Amino acid sequence: VAARLNSAGFIRSQGFIGGKWTDAYDGKTIEVTNPATGEVITNVSCMGGRETNDAIASAQDAFVSWSKQTAAERSKCLRKWYDLIMAHKEELGQLMTLEQGKPLKEAIGEVSYGASFVEFYAEEAKRIYGDIIPATLPDRRLFVLKQPVGVVGAITPWNFPLAMITRKVAPALACGCTVVIKPSELTPLTALAAAELSIQAGIPPGAVNVVMGNASDIGEALLASPQVRKITFTGSTAVGKKLMAGAASTVKKVSLELGGNAPCIIFDDADLDVALKGTLATKFRNSGQTCVCANRILVQEGIYDKFANAFSNAVSSMKVGDGFGEGVVQGPLINDAAVHKVESFLQDAISKGAKVLIGGKRHSLGMTFFEPTVITDVKSEMLLSREEVFGPIAPLLKFKTEEEAIRMANDTNAGLAAYIFTSSIKRSWRVSEALEYGLVGVNEGLISTEVAPFGGVKQSGLGREGSKYGMDEYLEIKYICLGNM
């Protein structure tokens, strides 16, 4: 299948260390498969601690010179990287659909979205301003400098094979840091292609390294190294907690984008069309496999039945299939484990009284395809409400009052994204302020952009990505006191 694609030239199977394509020391490889067909796309190097240490050493070498380049020079390289990613939008999108399964249009959309971080941080590179503080003694001058933190370990998931990398790597490079990326073993090809383009863009060898293989060995090597000064991670809450604990031994800076349990609250006074479109968009993007996907749809009792019917109608018209298929909007789930999770959550809900309105089982296409599902009479104690389902299941819960909706929405350890649909300005402010979440979409289901801060509160994470705030994660503040003037 790979040979049919324009992206075939982008398929790399080795790790990328110090600007060189590199095999694992023991020659081991792992398969990368197409989730829509089960076909093996290629075998990539299966690396571990030794290769990671090599990558860290390369990143440390590169840091010495990269951090000393002028902001304008770093900016130019990043801008070129952006241009190259955009020039290869189609090929990168194909590669992503091939290894991840999302519909091609969505994949190409992710390439643009991923590239937008590179463009944005090419610009921010020039704005790392310090401060001069009025001194407390007349013979002193007090300065604040911002300096790159050092080598960064970036660990990323499979659901956004490009954007989760650029959202970390672009601000890191802009600040003068260098990086060791560990992409998900399920989707390393997009990451490797992006690394290749970084070299073409003039980003020096060693500034961007990619290792993949044994996740826990790679993670341990990154955590153990005193040279790695920062760990940035997107993925599950469980692994995030491990990394945070592991980072303690060398006191690294840590940013974490972990799981969500997004409530999507639809009030009686909502514009039904807007609520339908927004909820569909936030629920079914990437077949429900994003940490900001609506996980619980809370609908006020006055509009509940009307919404449930209209929503099921809309869901029933969504075309499921291979991401390369014409008109397909729902691809396969990433693997069997993902399907099992969806099935067990559904089983739990049904056994406790929930009713499937539409879907509810594996799709006739086989593989890991699952029918887009709407399920009603969902209660707060069901698994579907307690944990992130990460699949195309839309659970509808009923509420009576605004207070009840806020209480239900906040009744979770997660705090990433929340959505509300209402026509009342007063209510939109009131509820937005009351929600214990890092992001709130009001009458909008797709809110992520490179110019705004993305990140969670509570156990959904630490730190922010995107926007001017995303730079702080890769900078140290230094205070200089000039005395005896």
Residue 123 appears among annotated catalytic residues:
no
Candidates 6-14, 59-67, 236-244, 423-431: pick the segment binding ligand ADP (CB under 6 A): 236-244
Asked if residue 387 binds ligand ADP (CB under 6 A), the reply is no
Amino acid at 219: G
Write down the least CB distance from residue 390 to ligand ADP, Å: 7
C-alpha distances (whole Å) from 43 to each of 143, 164, 378, 442, 484 are 52, 22, 43, 44, 64
Q: Which is nearer to ligand ADP, 30 or 239 (CB)?
A: 239
Asked if residue 224 binds ligand ADP (CB under 6 A), the reply is no
Q: How far is residue 259's CA from residue 254's CA, in Å, rounded to a whole number?
A: 16
CA-CA-CA-CA torsion sign (299, 302, 303, 309): positive
Asked if residue 288 binds ligand ADP (CB under 6 A), the reply is no
What letter would DSSP give residue 203?
P
Candidates 96-104, 141-149, 156-164, 200-208: pick the segment binding ligand ADP (CB under 6 A): 156-164
Q: How many residues bind ligand ADP (CB under 6 A)?
A: 14
**Lookup: tokens for 322:** 């291979």
Q: Which is nearer to ligand ADP, 74 or 252 (CB)?
A: 252
Q: Which is nearer to ligand ADP, 260 or 321 (CB)?
A: 260
Q: Which is nearer to ligand ADP, 76 or 242 (CB)?
A: 242
Q: How far is residue 275's CA from residue 264's CA, in Å, rounded to a whole number?
A: 9
What letter would DSSP give residue 380?
T
Candidates 139-147, 215-223, 353-361, 465-473: pick the segment binding ligand ADP (CB under 6 A): 215-223
Asked if residue 219 binds ligand ADP (CB under 6 A), the reply is yes
Asked if residue 235 binds ligand ADP (CB under 6 A), the reply is yes
CB count within 10 Å of CB 28 equals 14
SS3 387: coil
**Lookup: tokens for 389:** 């389902």
Write down the least CB distance from residue 242 to ligand ADP, Å: 5
Write down the least CB distance from residue 216 to ligand ADP, Å: 4
Residue number closest to ligand ADP, CB atom: 219
Q: Of these, 155, 244, 308, 462, which contacts ligand ADP (CB under 6 A)?
A: 155
Asked if residue 156 binds ligand ADP (CB under 6 A), the reply is yes
Among residues 257, 371, 450, 465, the one annotated as catalytic is: 257
C-alpha distances (whole Å) from 178 to each of 91, 146, 153 are 26, 16, 9
Q: Of these, 22, 75, 184, 368, which contacts ligand ADP (CB under 6 A)?
A: 184
C-alpha distances (whole Å) from 318 to each of 281, 290, 359, 369, 425 are 12, 18, 11, 13, 32
C-alpha distances (whole Å) from 1 to each of 7, 8, 29, 237, 380 are 11, 9, 20, 35, 44
Q: Which is nearer to ligand ADP, 235 or 415 (CB)?
A: 235
Amino acid at 428: S
Return the H-helix or E-strand segment holding 55.
Answer: helix 49-66
Q: Of these, 23, 90, 185, 348, which contacts ligand ADP (CB under 6 A)?
A: 185
Asked if residue 206 binds ligand ADP (CB under 6 A), the reply is no
Tokens 């590239």, residue? 115
Positions in the binding site for ligand ADP (CB under 6 A) = 155-158, 182, 184-185, 215-216, 219, 235-236, 239, 242
Catalytic residue numbers? 257
